[in-house]
């Protein structure tokens, strides 16, 4: 476990927690540390998270709870004609690991936007967009640089319920947050 006397971090993996603690020691805040831990989890626990996926977060800035929704969309060039031209559709499903099933990665943009809006430290930005598009297109994707550049992270109002006198906040759909709040509301009603 990592221990700090002027701040704390928590993750599912000790090395990721250590990354967050190091960020705090360098003058970063909770937003910076959370992004550092999320990035570290890509290496230390890759089956649970990924830079090529989506990122959702709740952030309390001392006044209000904010919801960060880094959910990627399908590439602009993805449509039913593309799917059918590859021999899918009409009862033939896309294979789970086909490049056509890849959405615009929202996690990296969400991390950047969280740090830009709430952090104290700057994230290093690299020229990896071309490599992402090149690799996906080589595998058959219709992803373009414009799809990556056009991605936006949404800062939405979170959803909330009260359970045993405490407010419980969650990320709204398209996540499963509403399911957790409904379950708590049902438990509250049954008690």
Structure tokens that stand for 159 in this block: 């959803």
A 10 A CB-CB count for 37 gives: 24
Return the sign of the alpha-carbon dihedral for residues 43, 45, 46, 52. negative
* pLDDT tens per residue, range 24-48: 999 999 999 999 999 999 889 988 8
Distance CA 100, CA 78 (A): 8
Beta bridge partners of 168: 161
- The two tokens of residue 177 are 């947050």
Name the residue with higher pLDDT: 49 or 10: 10
Residue 63, classed as helix, strand or coil, is: coil
The encoded tokens of residue 44 equal 């230390």
The model's pLDDT over 139-166, given as tens digits with 9 standing for 90+, comes to: 999 999 899 888 899 999 999 999 999 9
What whole-number distance in Å separates Cα of residue 33 and Cα of residue 115? 9
pLDDT at site 126: 46
Contact 113, 121 (CB under 8 A): no
pTM here is 0.79
Q: Are strands 159-163 and 154-156 parallel, antiparallel or unpaired?
A: unpaired
């Amino acid at each position: 476990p990592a221990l700090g006397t002027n701040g704390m971090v928590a993750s599912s993996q000790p090395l990721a927690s250590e990354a967050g603690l190091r960020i705090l020691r360098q003058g970063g805040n909770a937003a910076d540390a959370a992004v550092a831990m999320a990035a570290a989890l890509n290496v230390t626990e890759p089956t649970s998270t990924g830079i090529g996926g989506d990122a959702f977060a709740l952030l309390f800035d001392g006044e209000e709870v904010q919801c960060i929704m880094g959910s990627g969309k399908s590439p602009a060039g993805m449509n039913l004609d593309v799917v059918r031209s590859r021999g899918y559709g009409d009862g033939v499903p896309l294979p789970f690991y086909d490049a056509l099933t890849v959405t615009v990665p929202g996690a990296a943009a969400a991390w950047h936007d969280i740090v830009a809006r709430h952090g104290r430290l700057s994230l290093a930005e690299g020229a990896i967009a071309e490599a992402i598009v090149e690799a996906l297109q080589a595998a058959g994707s219709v992803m373009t640089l414009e799809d990556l550049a056009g991605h936006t992270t949404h800062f939405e109002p979170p959803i909330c319920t009260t359970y045993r006198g405490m407010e419980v906040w969650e990320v709204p759909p398209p996540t499963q947050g509403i399911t957790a709040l409904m379950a708590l509301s049902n438990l509250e009603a049954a008690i």
